[in-house]
A and B are shown apart, each in its own frame.
Chain A
Amino acid sequence: MYIPKKHEPVRIGFYICHCGVNIASMVDVKEVAKYVGTLPNVVVSRDYKYMCSDPGQEMIQQDIIENRLNRVVVAACSPMLHEQTFRKATEKAGINPFFFQMVNIREHDAWVHTDRLEATRKAMALARAAIQRVPLHKPLEVKKVAVHPNVLIVGGGIAGIHAALVLANAGKRVYLVERDPTIGGHMAKFDKTFPTLDCAMCVLSPKMAAVGSHPNITLWTYSEVAKVDGYVGNYKVVVRRKPRYVLEDLCTGCQECVEACVYKEPKFRDEFNLGLGKRKPIRLPFPQAIPPVTLIDPETCIELKSGKCKKTCLEACGDRKAIDFKQQEELREILVGTIIVATGYQIFDAKRTPYYGYGVYPNVYNALEVERLINASGPTNGELVMRNGQVPKKVAVIHCVGSRDENTNRWCSRVCCLYSLKLAHLIHERTNAEIVNFYIDMRTPGKGMEEFYNRLSEEGMMLVRGKVADVYPDPTDGTTGRLIVQAEDTLMSRILKIPVDMVVLSVGLEPHPDSDKIRRLFNMSCSSEGWFLERHPKLAPVSTFTDGIFLAGCCQGPKDIPDSVAQAGAAAAECFSLIDKGHIEQEPNTAFVVEKECSGCKSCIPLCPYTAISLLEDKKKAYINEALCKGCGTCVASCPSGSIVQNLFEDAEVFSEIEGLLAPVPV
């Protein structure tokens, strides 16, 4: 490795990229090259159409050898894109890669200006800033940090399940943490799936069972991540396991305890069936729940509330001794190298669109409730019977409830058009009811989706293009709860008032109300809507801005099952990529405390977002754990005695850069 000797003169090569016309159309690259050529220490200064191309990189390498360059500055696009390219190119020619400096004159200049002269001046100033900085650069080394091979997956919906199986099948140890008592997520509640109309549980339950029995998967349901510390490759995670009052390793899932409960009949709101059915205090959420372990609700269980129950459940459990009324919350600490966040979504609360009468008129349902009503394992065993005991003869399906709406959520929830068609088909199939779909636009992208739409529209359902304005009781009807749906048919330009027995609201998808808490926990970013933000919308769709933390499924934005599964596979692949490489290369822009200069004032310690700083108790000096440091610079800026130095951002380098930036330019 070439390391310039202290007194060896600095020899800089400067290269400015046209980026086709991206830069050259707004910046006079020839003028900039000519100007930089006149600056001190600059030995060669060239412009080239595509610096990132092989010939572009070779030009740098050749100059390094022929002109004995020991510093390289490239003015081109964002370092996010090509810093690594040029670092590697300079390294190949025998120079420490940190003697290279990149100047962003595309995103920071050409793309954001309209005055060519001003943009050229700015490019000159930015280039000179780098030219004044690189002589002070020091050779640095990339450090390697081992990646812990275990993976944490947060969320046991289809995305989390799929990712867990992909990883576990390849021999990786997976911790799957789910907030609810069972995995399965929303998909476990669906009846059939579009566009194939295959039964959701038929395809999901084998995967759930596989997770439950997989030797490489530690499944923690009814649990939440409480704390995340550490960094890529070495995350220390604390998981809070809520008490089920039934011991997982002893329960066989026989449900004799449920039978034996002192409540002879189910009496309480059944969460899994969205309150359409009833359950007992001790219950299994649904027949195929994984793990097949019952749990007791402390809010309704007599024993847990008052300690005065006959405890018939305990008797029924007998020698299995699985019921433990004294079970406490547990905190488990695990070490993982990578994390997949697959926390899903919630459905839009239709009460926020009061003109549709949800929660007021009993015959208005949201789509997920209808999924449960037509599901064979649902509260009505698959028969579509309304709250009044009747089978509907005419049903309205209202699209875009809480989607594409200025007053609620602006985004398109992507799945509603298709699930609305699916529900229309299924309701018709079960009840022979007449169905009217009210839609704004019919959006059916994706494989087989348009064909699905065409097939279903030929079944004779009525499709009305128009937004429903109001749902109100039919004044001519006394007892059955018949409703009038009022909408403008925008294709026929007329107002429709259609009497129906049942209204289905196709509610949109929205982020969990606690998504901000989850975001902070994992140090991720959110879009303005609250969906977790991917690192790059096209090229890093499952990565986050925190290394080693990936996204899968609807927590990143509304998507259908195939896309969730695809994303889960991609997130698993990203984990593999880190685990199988075995180490991560750490950017050497870390900070360090100059021990003899530190006064031990401790100002820096609480400020570090990565808890990388501690006080050496014997010496009373601050110390930065290099492996934890992410190079954010907070401690450097706040050290009141200037005793913390950051590699690549030393004070002298930064001041020299600022001076270069502010000096006048010739044009």
Chain B
Amino acid sequence: MPKPKIGIYWCASCGGCEEAVVDLAEDILGVVEKVDIMFWPCAMDFKKADVEAMPDKSLVATLLNGAIRSSEQEEMAHMLRRKSKYMIAYGSCACTGGIPALANQFPREQILRYVYEESPTTVNEAKTRPQLKFAEAGREVTLPELRNVVRSLDQVVDVDYYIPGCPPTPKITKAAIGALLEGRMPPKGSVLSPDVALCEECSRRDSKPTNVAFTEFKRTHQKHLDPQLCFLAQGVICMGAATRQGCGAQCPSGNMPCTGCFGGTDRVKDQGAKALSSFCANIAAKEADEIDQTLKGIPDPVGTFYRYGLAKSLLRRKAGLPMSNGK
């Protein structure tokens, strides 16, 4: 009997998710023993045309990482969706937009202008910008278009499962692949990590005072962090209470607060809003100007509370900016 085939693909992401697959280390051998990795452009030479030539649904699953922000990524997502029985959003960017989705705070034009003209390290006196088409000597080359809005994978194609994390840990990756191979898949649409907030598995939980009553917020580089005490008790924003578990509380174990990469629990529509409402309700000050003073410790609220989830949040995009694909 032929081995089941899987695909791994990379859209708008940093490459960390690819690294996470490699992070399986020797366990990857076990995976390869059971499946044929048919398509993994980052690691293997197998062309798009080869996949296109395969019958639909011939891949048992595609693990797609990265957000969708270009026409090419859109096209690949659609193609891989057709070829796969299960489409799995792998990592924060595919699940909820991730870091790339923070671009939704700005107009596309502003981003292009900054990157190609204004950034301190750019020298581009002719103000040349990449063109979608370029013809020379009778040959035409094309580039993908940058869309107006950065989207999570499920805002583009139907997604069966989500493996969260920036990047997903080897443990949940292995568990997901194991479940897939043994046909023990949960209901469609499930996020493949426990649906309880991180605090439960954090060793610092019991050190959190009942009433944190924030008087100031500090960022991690602004103070010496106690290696045992709950970050909130130190006035440092930790997203753990608003973030689902499954990572084994790796960041708090490394003396860094949770930044929320696993996303909210299933019950939560907007992780950032939930975190905000919880933190703000626990601010000690009661007068508006004192509250403002406390909140000065959070200079970038979107980057703090929506670091991985802006595309899938209720906010999604800065108000007044176009939501269309921008063709």
Which A residues have a C-beta under 8 Å from some C-beta of B? 596-603, 605-607, 615, 620, 634, 637-643, 651, 655
Contact = CB atoms under 8 A, between A and B. Distances in A.
Contacts, number: 84
Given A599-B199, A599-B200, A607-B281, A640 B208 contact: no
Contacts of A638: 277-278, 281-282
B259 to A, nearest CB: 14
Given A641-B267, A642-B264, A599 B282 contact: no
A606 B205 contact: no
A516 to B, nearest CB: 14
A428 B69 CA distance: 94
Given A603-B241, A605-B211, A655-B269, A640 B195 contact: no
Contact of B210 (A615, A637, A639): A615
Interface string B225-261: 0000000000000001110110000000000000000
B254 to A, nearest CB: 20
A607 B274 contact: no
B312 to A, nearest CB: 15
A603 B275 CA distance: 10
Given A605-B211, A615-B210, A640-B241, A597 B267 contact: yes
B115 interface: no
A640 B275 contact: yes
Contact of A600 (B195, B199, B244, B277): B199
Contacts of B200: 599-600, 620
B245 to A, nearest CB: 8
A638 B282 CA distance: 9
A265 B169 CA distance: 88
Contacts of B244: 641
Among B197, B209, B244, chain A packs the most CB atoms within 10 A around the CB of: B197
B196 interface: yes
A603 B267 contact: no
Nearest to B240: A601
Contact of B211 (A606, A640, A641): A606
Contacts of A601: 197, 199, 205, 208, 240-241
A640 B242 contact: yes
A642 B267 contact: yes
A642 B265 CA distance: 7
Given A600-B205, A641-B264, A642-B265, 17 more contacts: A597-B267, A599-B199, A599-B205, A599-B240, A599-B241, A601-B199, A601-B205, A601-B241, A602-B208, A603-B278, A603-B281, A607-B281, A620-B200, A638-B277, A641-B274, A642-B274, A643-B196
B93 interface: no
Interface residues of B, number: 30
Contacts of B195: 597
B37 interface: no
Contacts of B269: 651, 655
Given A602-B208, A603-B278, A651 B199 contact: no
20 contacts: A597-B195, A597-B196, A598-B196, A599-B198, A599-B241, A601-B241, A602-B208, A602-B209, A605-B211, A607-B281, A638-B281, A638-B282, A640-B278, A641-B241, A641-B265, A641-B274, A642-B268, A643-B196, A643-B197, A651-B267
B76 interface: no
A598 B267 CA distance: 11
B213 interface: yes
Contacts of A655: 269
A607 B268 CA distance: 20
A641 B241 CA distance: 6
Nearest to B201: A599
Given A599-B241, A606-B282, A607-B282, A641 B277 contact: no
Contacts of B209: 602
A633 B196 CA distance: 21
Interface in B205-227: 205-206, 208-213
A607 B208 CA distance: 15
A599 B245 CA distance: 9
Interface in B177-209: 195-200, 205-206, 208-209
A379 to B, nearest CB: 46
Contacts of A620: 200, 205-206
B152 to A, nearest CB: 19
A641 B243 CA distance: 7
A605 B267 contact: no
B265 A597 contact: yes
A641 B281 contact: no
Contacts of A639: 274, 278
Contacts of B265: 597, 641-643
A605 to B, nearest CB: 5
Closest 10 CB pairs of A and B: A642-B267, A599-B197, A640-B242, A641-B197, A606-B211, A601-B241, A599-B199, A640-B241, A642-B268, A599-B200
A642 to B, nearest CB: 3
Contacts of A598: 196
A601 B240 CA distance: 9
A605 B267 CA distance: 20
A600 B210 CA distance: 10
B103 to A, nearest CB: 26
Contacts of B245: 599
A615 B208 CA distance: 12
A46 B50 CA distance: 63
Given A597-B195, A620-B205, A642-B274, A602 B210 contact: yes
A642 B213 CA distance: 21
Contacts of B278: 603, 638-640
A635 to B, nearest CB: 9
A634 B281 contact: yes
A596 B213 CA distance: 26
B210 A605 contact: yes
B235 to A, nearest CB: 15
A641 B268 contact: yes
Nearest to B270: A642
Contacts of B242: 640-641
Nearest to B213: A606
Nearest to A614: B210
Nearest to A596: B196
Contacts of A606: 210-213, 282
A595 B76 CA distance: 42
B240 A643 contact: no
A643 B265 CA distance: 9
Contacts of A602: 208-210
A640 B213 contact: no
Contacts of B206: 620
A605 B282 CA distance: 10
Nearest to B205: A600
B65 to A, nearest CB: 25
A615 B205 CA distance: 13
Nearest to A634: B281
Contacts of A643: 196-197, 265, 267
Nearest to B275: A640
Contacts of B208: 601-602
Nearest to A615: B210
Nearest to B267: A642
A621 to B, nearest CB: 9
A269 B242 CA distance: 62
Nearest to A644: B267
Contacts of A603: 212, 241, 278, 281-282
Among B268, B278, B282, chain A packs the most CB atoms within 10 A around the CB of: B278
Among A601, A637, A639, chain B packs the most CB atoms within 10 A around the CB of: A601
Nearest to B274: A640
Contacts of B264: 641-642
A655 B273 CA distance: 15
A464 B132 CA distance: 93
Contacts of B240: 599, 601
Contacts of A651: 267, 269
Among A602, A643, A651, chain B packs the most CB atoms within 10 A around the CB of: A602
A620 B241 CA distance: 14
Contact of A641 (B196, B210, B213, B282): B196
